[in-house]
Amino acid sequence: MRYAISTILFQLFIVGMASMSQASTVIVFHNASDGIILGTDSAVGTVSLGEVKSGRAIPTSVETACKLQTCGRYFIAEAGFGGLKDRSGKSAITLRCAQIGDRPTNIQEFVMAYRRLVAAEINQYVSNLAQSKQQPAANDVLLSTAIAGYEFGMPFLRYFDNVFTGTQPGQFSYRFARKDCPGTPECSDLQLVAGEKSAVLAQKQYHNTGDKLLLAEELLQVEIEANRKTRYVLPPISIVQIKSAKPLWFRRGLCT
């Protein structure tokens, strides 16, 4: 069984029946003046199930791809488990979008449908790991997902962590930790980083109040440099801003 792993300043990792992909870094900003900023790197690693130790995947092969993807009118960036790796080569996000189709009428319906697919894939992944006694530790974040777009002409962000909470008789348990913007006080200056983030969090300028687009780029560069040997985080960088009437690409990277 092989899995894929990708890194985004808003993305971490993807899994498949025969292989798994994983993403390492994702950065998400939200405030009234800047709207929503999503940023990712381009690293996508691949690991086999046998290479997952104590629930943690170490990629043995790393390639590059766009990890800031569109699904209808929404942008999606992920860090962590990303879903089943398809023989067609399509990303997990693309496959989920095809399953959801155009049925949802608003971002909340879309997110609920997306989360149901993610939950089923993650449960299958953890079940596979458990068979080889390699299930994740309690409270491990298996997937972080940022979904952003427009509702009623305004930028809307839905962010969630899928957290493994342990094993109960006959089943595994999880919880979704959510952040919805606008809607809560923290949205006035929300700054999130998921995946490979130790170098980012060590930066004093992480909470800088200046130009958020430049800050997102700088923080991604910091994580890329910190992972120069492992190659878990790789250029080019992709950054998009969802603010006014239409999205603004600050850095497209490999996203066309």
**Predicted pLDDT at 129:** 82
At residue 116 the predicted structure's pLDDT band, cuts being 50, 70 and 90, is: very high
The residue to which tokens 């299930």 are assigned? 135
pLDDT tens, 157-188? 999 999 999 987 778 999 999 999 998 899 99
Nearest to 27 by CA among 194, 254, 225: 194
What is the rounded distance in angstroms from the CA atom of residue 233 to the CA atom of residue 9? 9
At residue 63 the predicted structure's pLDDT band, cuts being 50, 70 and 90, is: confident
The secondary structure element, H or E, covering residue 211 is none
Q: Which CATH class is domain 2-251?
A: alpha beta
At residue 12 the predicted structure's pLDDT band, cuts being 50, 70 and 90, is: very low
Helices 107-131/92-100 angle, 10° precision: 130
Nearest to 13 by CA among 26, 30, 28: 26
Sign of CA dihedral 79, 195, 235, 73: positive
At residue 13 the predicted structure's pLDDT band, cuts being 50, 70 and 90, is: very low
The secondary structure element, H or E, covering residue 196 is none
Nearest to 71 by CA among 44, 35, 99, 41: 99
**Predicted pLDDT at 232:** 87
Cβ count within 10 A of residue 27: 33
Segments making up each domain of the chain, as ranges: 2-251
User: Are residues 194 and 79 in contact, defined by beta-carbon separation less than 8 angstroms?
Assistant: yes
**Predicted pLDDT at 8:** 30
Global pTM reads 0.87
